[in-house]
Structure 1
């Protein structure tokens, strides 16, 4: 009789524990983070930005930090009277997670905007015009095999990109356009610059990256060819949360002021001029 009562008590305690676990799980998944918009940012006095480390956006030169995204964000912070707090993350997907979790306010990198992305995030007016190019070896560096010039020749070729690169969307669309398979390899450990080095050394045959990054690399590695476009010219922007419309309006206003003052053009010409 006593054992039966103990079993009943244990069963009740087990049900209570299970109910508590389910309730906590639902709470953790259903709770919403507080809205963080322009007013909250100005009250804190800090603009949190995440960007990627590369030869255009953000990099260390000697004992100074340089880069298009870095200088642009500093110019905006000066205009707005805010302090910039910059985080670095090579993964675009992870940057979006940081944005959703209020760990940053802006993804300050060149993002080709798609319809799917617009459903989830807000994007500034275009920051730059850019395109993606195929990085391959020149004929002289590739046993006199001529570089690919027709995108139809990419059928069944293996193209390398950094993990979570926006280039993946373009390559998936390109498969449909040529009516054949393109093998897309996402490398979790390598940046665009590192993939270019692997192409130059002959360890891989093809990589895809932004044109300007490829142009910078071609000065150091004359054995690479970057003359084949993978995409048309794209409008690329910064991203903010869907519930931060005031921040978006402020950013567009600041960009306009920087253009009117000539500051934007000076920064742009330093990193993107031909």
Structure 2
């Protein structure tokens, strides 16, 4: 009887291993290989990741627009490459995709900092911007939550996109004002969604890129974006550390294209 019980246990264990093995092979994970520019040219496809917002990449009915998307399309066309663009709201997932070779390029404005330089190779700066506080305008006759300057941020909860480079600045700001600022990282929404949440009263404060905020402020007349969180910084695209030739190719092309009338018209279209 004891021997039969052992057989049953052994058989059950083997069956469990078979089930686990079958499940693990039911949905094979795609394999990606880190690529530099020569590999991209051989494949004929450039894989880029961006953020879905009005400034970078935006779909409206049958058309796609956005400064980063249109600039990237011009590069791909000049190099006879097919373009594959993936919108990804999470900054951390964009970095992870780059590290794994899933994407060849982060084609959305990414702030250049000492920390971000540890993980990415940056193109020439594409524009200047800064992080700002998004809050509701004060209402007459009501107790106001309005923040007039950075010193009043003590004890407040700020919502920011998870993994955003703005977090480094916010941690420094906590030290500067010698008070606690509660940081709520959000991974399912981007800056435009955070603006809508502040406007609707779901949250009180958010930290967003100034250019994105300015591009959407007309939709939310009850919002104020006049309080700076950071100083003005350079923003650029990010290439993987293993793709220096891609970086050189992008920079060489940008040097020429940014002198053209096409580029000047594109810049005016998105940066007033």
Please confirm whether the aligned pair reaches a TM-score higher than 0.5, indicating the same fold: yes
Instruction: Look up the SS of the partner of 2:268 in the other structure.
Output: helix
Residue-by-residue CA offset, 1:177-212 (whole Å, 9 max, x unaligned): 212111000122222111111111222111110112
In structure 1, runs of 5+ residues without a counterpart are 1-32
Note the 1:214-253 alignment, pairs <5 A. 214-253=213-252
The answer to whether 1:79 aligns with 2:78 is yes
- Report the Cα distance in structure 1 between the residues aligned to 2:188 and 2:33, rounded to whole angstroms: 34
In structure 2, runs of 5+ residues without a counterpart are 1-31
**Cα distance change on mapping 1:152 and 1:86 into 2, 3 Å:** same
> What's 2:150 paired with?
151
- Report the Cα distance in structure 2 between the residues aligned to 1:194 and 1:117, rounded to whole angstroms: 24
Instruction: Look up the SS of the partner of 2:179 in the other structure.
Output: coil
The answer to whether 1:64 aligns with 2:63 is yes
What is the TM-score when the length of structure 1 is the normalising length? 0.84
The CA RMSD measured in Å over matched residues stands at 2.3
Please report how far the alpha carbon of residue 265 of structure 1 lies from its aligned counterpart in structure 2 after TM superposition.
2.1
Please report how far the alpha carbon of residue 120 of structure 1 lies from its aligned counterpart in structure 2 after TM superposition.
2.5
What is the TM-score when the length of structure 2 is the normalising length? 0.84
Please report how far the alpha carbon of residue 148 of structure 1 lies from its aligned counterpart in structure 2 after TM superposition.
1.6
Question: Does the 8 Å contact 2:129/2:235 carry over to 1?
Answer: yes
> What's 1:192 paired with?
191
- Report the Cα distance in structure 1 between the residues aligned to 2:145 and 2:92, rounded to whole angstroms: 36
Question: Does the 8 Å contact 2:111/2:234 carry over to 1?
Answer: yes
The answer to whether 1:38 aligns with 2:34 is no
- Report the Cα distance in structure 2 between the residues aligned to 1:235 and 1:142, rounded to whole angstroms: 41
Give the number of equivalent residue pairs.
Answer: 246
> What's 1:181 paired with?
180
**Cα distance change on mapping 1:105 and 1:142 into 2, 3 Å:** farther
- Report the Cα distance in structure 2 between the residues aligned to 1:140 and 1:35, rounded to whole angstroms: 53
